A and B are shown apart, each in its own frame.
Chain A
């Protein structure tokens, strides 16, 4: 498949490239250049540049959106909301029938759901609340879903919770993790997060019940706070690292977040 990746040199991008590069033809785009170890095609592009995204999408079979900026109000809406508008218009214009969107779990199950005890699931009505990151991603998702339903595009949305490097349990731009202290039951390794995108790219259309399907990407937990059964049953994702694997592992030092990726 020819795949356009938006926001491909951020936190998740290197792991998505690792999962896809041997089977698919990738065009990686981002406002930041990839490191030298990345050998594939790259285009410098901001996701809110609608004409740039439309041009880059020509001839593609699939678009993956990994872009995110969450600290500045303008940038957050430019990337997470308007970026999705660019992406979905590109899909419409070039008749691209598969779009993979990614985001945080709380763009759907935000603050007002926090007190719920269990069985939060991806079929619930979204309630992101007013946190900047959550609401800007949610509005982007609303645009993407409308386009998917109206123009018959398969939109697969993957929602993540807590991502850590499988060597040393770190996540970029945060302090070093302390084994057993900084983990939540939904901790997922970056390498497994990339695999989830591969599952979404390769899933047979007949398994999808509607044009817009959302999946929680986190390992199965006994208390079932986030119900990921749909992810296991339909997406076919099986994480290599469960909480138990990560909890009992021996920490292996990594030089940076992208070690063992690309």
Chain B
């Protein structure tokens, strides 16, 4: 494993009219990392995330993944580089069964037989076997989130981008999700955008704090928690 970054942004900027949502961000992610992006509402972390995933085309700057320049690439092209993406708003096929959701992810680039096997394996891994035949729209919120995680994992990505994976989950569900993310991290590099601090504490190693579209601090989780600037913009606000 080399130390060269697998994902890098140079001077990344995203403007909406006069608003600068992401302001000249230089970001680098090493292979095998589990990086958390945090920041108060409107800090630009979700916009930054959307630039990485091709949902938004950055106004300026460049994004590279390994040797590929993915600036302004289509989402499906980015996904084909082996990148798994979970968006903030759950994006699942609500009218289709949990099995069909995961199968559709597994089947891309795989034979039908390999896809079937991987689908069963993923359903088991996420404890979804009992609801495999239920349309996802009828599942509880936490289960839907896991279906989406399953859909991401069934692509067997080497890099995974998760936007608020624990949003709206019960405490037990959050703990399970945290354990799952740590397990995934053994084989894949991750970026997790989250603002649930309890969740961050469970999983975080290095944390990048966004504030007003720029990176405020980047350090390990203990130092970030102690950092007075971070307390001011983020934790202080939340406590208030």
Partners in one complex: no
